[in-house]
Amino acid sequence: MTTVTVGVEWINDFHSDACSQNQLVYMNTHAEGFRNSMVANGHTAVFDWGDDNAWETDFRNPASGGGGDALNWSDNVNFCYFADHGGNWSNIMHIAFSKSHNECLGSSDTWKLGVKDLKWLVLDVCDGTLDTTASAVVDVWGGPMQGIHIIFTFVNITSPWSSSEGSDFGSDAGSGKALSNAWLDRTYSSSIANSPIAIAAGATQDEAINRRENETIDWRDYSVTSTSWLAWKWRY
Amino acid sequence: MSTIPITLKMPELPGSPPPIFTLRTPRVNESALLNLAHTFKLKGREEAGSISRDASTFTYAEGAFDLTFHRASGAFRFKDRNRWQIDHRANVELSDEDAVKLARTYLSRYQLLPEDWKVLRVSRLHVATAGPDRKMQDHRVIDVAVCLQPVVHGLPVDGPGGKVTVYLDHEGRMTCLDHISRRIGPVYRKVTRLHSPEHAVDEARRTWAERGVREVDVREVRLCYFEMGWNDVQRYLQPAYIVFATLVGVDQRIKMGDIYVTHAAVNHAGRIVPLAPTRRVAQKPRRAQGGDDRPTPPNHAG
């Protein structure tokens, strides 16, 4: 099986300052559970940044200024898992950081996901999309997806119901199961009626669908040459 | 945190308090796994398939079918690898009602229909695409999942467990069955009195206040029997409140769902949820950006 590199970031503790948000509980468990499961399957952990060590610049592309350092971090690994608060407005995804380095909010209009090594990104946050219409998906993700294969996130609000979601998904992903189906299976709950979603890119409709349905980590080197099409899958 | 305004309807308390039950220790071994395989009309012999094991499960594979048994809970999943979650370019057009009827038929056939039950939710697995014109195309439903929850002593069972889910494809065929519903034993303890739902919300409020949460929207409070997840050992089935809330951030635009679970019985038995994961030791401050303190990744073609 192909070996992939993994990086995780998570935030539980925010401070009473300009970056203040509500405290979270399970985010380290989700992100590090994912990392541990991947490592248990033979993959390589590269970074694990939590709380104040998780920085907005780790996702910002250098072309967007502001100290963007994504090419050394999120886009320097194949699989990145980010667990935290999220919000989505003005067709821009935002993720919250506890320390302003260099902003309190990361904004998807400063991201170029996949220009280097990043193939798969988990945004274990709320509001990865606001709904499942084409405008909600394409207008937010069509721009930032620049070579990345699949984004895994949630439609609207979700609730961390179990501490094992990250490790469960990591077990499936790391052992070569189809990635989108694994995400939907491991994170959906009938009790909370959340809505996980996987968004795959492709140069053609068939390629995007093929990735959505069948891609595993063995597809690491099958590059997305353009994000002309998106194919998404969600349970609700 | 200021007082939470409660505008939603609280659950009604039953006339007599529901008791706490003992849960039977699940018998999970390879022999039980093969016996269970017979329920699903598999041959259920090692010569006809194969058994794999890991720390938490046994799986019997025969043809396209996998039957996975969870050691801690006795929960199991029976799935058709070639059909569950697979897009055959068809569209499921079953109504909720028809899907529930079909699910009930399958569960009756396998003698897995709970004695008393209610529908928790009917969900659908959707797919869609969009191209350069940014218009949705090929939106279809590729399965419908009917989730039933057992009802015990008049209370539904809820939580990560306490459910039986049947997945149906466009031809109404079952593609997967999840059964996470522990076997109930004798009454362990009569419940003298139930706390009020307002008591549960108040407990939740204190917990949120300790976490520095400033604004909360309580969406729903459920009174139920609480069942844990696939890989949790559980000894008692007891009444619980589940408080579903949305935590609202300082600038109102960042929100997060939150779930608070607490005992409903005044004389409850032990823990109701698994022990919380240990808080990690704080990381050492990160030194610099630009990869200064980045471990060297291995060479890879990415």
Question: pLDDT tens digits, residue range B52-81?
Answer: 999 999 999 999 999 999 999 999 999 999
Chain B residues with beta carbon closer than 8 angstroms to that of A37: none
Position B279 scores a pLDDT of 58
Kindly state whether residues B161 and B205 are assigned to the same domain. no
State ipTM: 0.96
Chain B residues with beta carbon closer than 8 angstroms to that of A117: 300, 302
| Domain encompassing residue B143 | 94-181
B153, B181, B209 - which closes a domain: B181
User: How far is residue A216 from each of residues A46, B119, B244, B253, measured CA to CA in Å?
Assistant: 20, 34, 34, 34
Asked whether the beta carbons of residue B130 and residue A138 sit closer than 8 angstroms, the reply is: yes
B161, B181, B201 - which closes a domain: B181
Cβ-nearest to B254 among A85, A161, A234:
A85
Kindly state whether residues B214 and B247 are assigned to the same domain. yes
pLDDT tens-digit series, residues A52-82: 999 999 999 999 999 999 999 999 999 999 9
Cβ-nearest to A157 among B138, B229, B257:
B257
Asked whether the beta carbons of residue B128 and residue A25 sit closer than 8 angstroms, the reply is: no
Cβ-nearest to B297 among A46, A55, A209:
A46
pLDDT tens-digit series, residues B154-213: 999 999 999 999 999 999 999 999 999 999 999 999 999 999 999 999 999 999 998 888
- Confirm whether B246 is domain-assigned: yes
pLDDT tens-digit series, residues A135-150: 999 999 999 999 999 9
pLDDT tens-digit series, residues A202-218: 999 999 999 999 999 99
Kindly state whether residues B159 and B188 are assigned to the same domain. no
- Confirm whether B121 is domain-assigned: yes
CA B213 to chain centre: 26
Q: Residues B255, B247: contact at Cβ < 8 Å? A: yes
The backbone torsions φ and ψ at residue B194, rounded to the nearest 5 degrees and listed phi first, read -100, 140
pTM of the model: 0.95
Kindly state whether residues B195 and B259 are assigned to the same domain. yes
CATH of the domain at B102: 3.10.450
Asked whether the beta carbons of residue B249 and residue A96 sit closer than 8 angstroms, the reply is: yes
CA-angle at B241, arms to B237 and B243, nearest 5°: 140
- Confirm whether B141 is domain-assigned: yes
Q: Please report the domains of chain A, with CATH numbers, ordered by start residue.
A: 5-234 (3.40.50)
- Confirm whether B78 is domain-assigned: no
The backbone torsions φ and ψ at residue B165, rounded to the nearest 5 degrees and listed phi first, read -120, 130
Q: If you average pLDDT over residues A154-168, what whole number do you get?
A: 91
d(C-alpha A231, C-alpha B11), whole Å = 41
Cβ-nearest to B126 among A21, A132, A209:
A132
d(C-alpha A105, C-alpha A97), whole Å = 6
Answer whether A100 touches B (CB < 8 Å): no
Kindly state whether residues B193 and B262 are assigned to the same domain. yes
CATH of the domain at B215: 2.40.128
Residue in chain A nearest B285 by alpha carbon: A53
Kindly state whether residues B251 and B240 are assigned to the same domain. yes
Kindly state whether residues B172 and B198 are assigned to the same domain. no
CA distance B263 to chain A (A): 17
Asked whether the beta carbons of residue B289 and residue A190 sit closer than 8 angstroms, the reply is: no
Whether residue B301 is predicted with pLDDT greater than 50 in this model: the reply is no
Kindly state whether residues B191 and B171 are assigned to the same domain. no
Kindly state whether residues B268 and B210 are assigned to the same domain. yes
The backbone torsions φ and ψ at residue A22, rounded to the nearest 5 degrees and listed phi first, read -65, 140
Position B290 scores a pLDDT of 56
pLDDT tens-digit series, residues B257-300: 999 999 999 999 988 887 766 656 678 889 755 554 554 444 44
B181, B198, B221 - which closes a domain: B181
Stretch 17-36 of chain A: residues touching chain B, C-beta under 8 Å: 20-26, 28-29, 32
Asked whether the beta carbons of residue A192 and residue B294 sit closer than 8 angstroms, the reply is: no
